[in-house]
Amino acid sequence: MKALLFCLLILSNTGIGKRPVSYPKPGGVSILTVDTSVSTIKWQAEKPTGVHHGTIGIRSGSLTLHCGQLAGGSIVADMNSIIVADLQQPRKTQLENNLKGDNFFDAERFPLARLDILSVDHRSEASYHFVTISGNLMLHGITKRIVFTANVSKSTITNFIAQADIVINRRNWGIATKNFKYDTFINTDIHLHVMLQADKMNDQITSL
């Protein structure tokens, strides 16, 4: 009896006995396909004389959910689809061609960009719908780790909707670094606003 009381006292003091019991949520593993018709990437870049912004098309993507929560996935963007939204012709096409050229994203050599989700921290999602995502971003032939926060508005085994603001330093991916004028007078930050919607295709759900 004394030994039992002693063990309970140790558990109480270490906090082990106070930990709530957690049970897995019902469900399984589901693979959702990114709906490229409604998912978007908006970009913004700044310079001393102003700001340019536009869009980049999403070519494909899939998300892995465990019990209705995001666990992994990948998104592929088409760098040849860059659009400038704040200029009129002919400057619009001129800047688009420049961004696709070797001064910037060099889309002929590196036509695709890819984000691979490595881990997702859900600790605050239950109350605020925010999750912290860590992943590898492959851009301009260079892969770097990035961490960002996503706002999840819907997450089930069949549907997922979220958006995120991501800021990257273009120099880390060798973008606009070979041209002195561009490297000096264009802000190093590229702002990306990503909105993703994904849905279950066919019967892509397995039990735990």
DSSP 3-state of 157: coil
Per-residue H/E/C for 6-63 = HHHHHHHHHCHHHCCCCCCCCCEEEEEEECCCCCEEEEEEEECCEEEEEEEEEEEEEE
pLDDT higher than threshold 60 for residue 111: yes
Give the domain extent around 111. 27-207
What pLDDT does residue 2 have? 40
pLDDT higher than threshold 80 for residue 137: yes
Count of structural domains within the chain:
1
Q: Is residue 177 part of a domain?
A: yes
CATH number for the domain spanning 189: value is 2.40.128.110
Nearest Cα residue to 40 out of 170, 175, 188, 161: 161
Model confidence, pTM: 0.83
Contacts of 49 (CB under 8 A, 6+ apart): none
Q: Is residue 6 part of a domain?
A: no
**Cα 129 to Cα 58: distance, rounded to the nearest angstrom:** 24
Q: Is residue 161 part of a domain?
A: yes
Are the C-beta atoms of 33 and 26 separated by less than 8 Å?
A: no
Per-residue pLDDT reduced to its tens digit, 36-90? 999 999 999 999 989 999 999 999 999 999 999 999 999 999 999 999 999 999 9
Q: Is residue 142 part of a domain?
A: yes
Q: Is residue 8 part of a domain?
A: no
Give the residue-averaged pLDDT of 167-193. Answer: 97
